Each structure stands twice: as C-alpha cells, then as structure tokens.
Amino acid sequence: MVNFKIVISDKSGKSLSHELKDKDAQPFLGSKIGDTFDSSLVGLAGGKLQITGGSDKSGTPMRSDLHGGVKKYVLLHTGVGMRDSTAGKRVRKLLRGNMITEEIYQLNCILDGVNIVKSQPENIETSNSDSTK
C-alpha cells in the first residue's frame, strides 16, 4: 500500500499539502528528483509539477546526486542533509537516494505555470510561509 504526503509550492511562497493513496500515488513510483508531471494528478488544473525532494518515514532526506532508492551513509560538507557548514568540516550522514519508492512518505514539488490560490480545490489545506505573526 503506497501512501504519500505531497507538499506543493509555487514561486510566490504559498504551499499546499495533499495526501495521495494507492491508485493516485502509483504514477510517482519509480520516478526521480527533477522529473515533471502534469498537475492534474493531484487535482490542480493547468500546470506542471517538478519533484524537488522528499523524505522517508523515519525523516531521512532524499538527495538528488545519490542514485537509486536505497539508504546510504555519505560523507558531506555542504548541501541537503547537512546543517552545519563550518569550513573544513565533513560529516558522514544517512541519506536516501533520488528514486521514489514505497518507503517515501513526503514528496516536495514546485508548481510551474499556475498560481496555487487560483487552481486550489476545496479539500486541500493551504499555508503561507511568508506570513509574519
């Protein structure tokens, strides 16, 4: 049983979250970070979705330059999965590859061509990351 939480962002900073189960999530299996899909797969009209990353059920982030769908320990100094970038510091971290498998829990995507507010269905929750409360 495949179950994804997909987070879609646009260029204005708005994002929305949608849950895909079983039949709706099947087109995403086997694809990689950087692949594009039609936004009608998640219920948005008139745009393209580009996969930018994600994480698995334990919170391990996906990395685009790590091939396959496996977990590996990688020696990092900057980039995805590395918080501290002190000069000369390298750390071995556990990361997941760029292929989407059944173990992936969250997918991060960018919506091209359409503003989220105009094409949003009623059952998807929206959040604004630029709000200052």
Q: What does each of the 133 residues of the chain score in pLDDT, given as a tens digit?
A: 788 899 999 888 889 999 999 888 898 999 999 999 988 888 887 788 899 999 999 999 999 999 999 999 999 888 888 877 778 888 899 999 999 999 999 999 998 866 666 555 554 555 555 544 4
Which secondary-structure segment (H or E) carries 7?
strand 3-9
The pLDDT value recorded for residue 133 is 42
Count of structural domains, the chain? 1
Query: Residues 26, 37: contact at Cβ < 8 Å?
Result: no
Q: State whether residue 25 is helix, strand or coil.
A: helix
CATH code assigned at 47:
3.10.20
Task: Identify whether 36 is part of a domain.
Answer: yes
Task: Identify whether 33 is part of a domain.
Answer: yes
Q: State whether residue 116 is helix, strand or coil.
A: helix
Domain that holds residue 34: 3-64+98-115
Length of the chain, in residues: 133
**Is the backbone of residue 53 left (phi > 0), alpha (psi -120 to 50) or beta?**
left
Task: Identify whether 127 is part of a domain.
Answer: no
Task: Identify whether 123 is part of a domain.
Answer: no
Task: Identify whether 87 is part of a domain.
Answer: no
The pLDDT value recorded for residue 119 is 55
Task: Identify whether 15 is part of a domain.
Answer: yes
The pLDDT value recorded for residue 118 is 55
Task: Identify whether 76 is part of a domain.
Answer: no
Task: Identify whether 41 is part of a domain.
Answer: yes
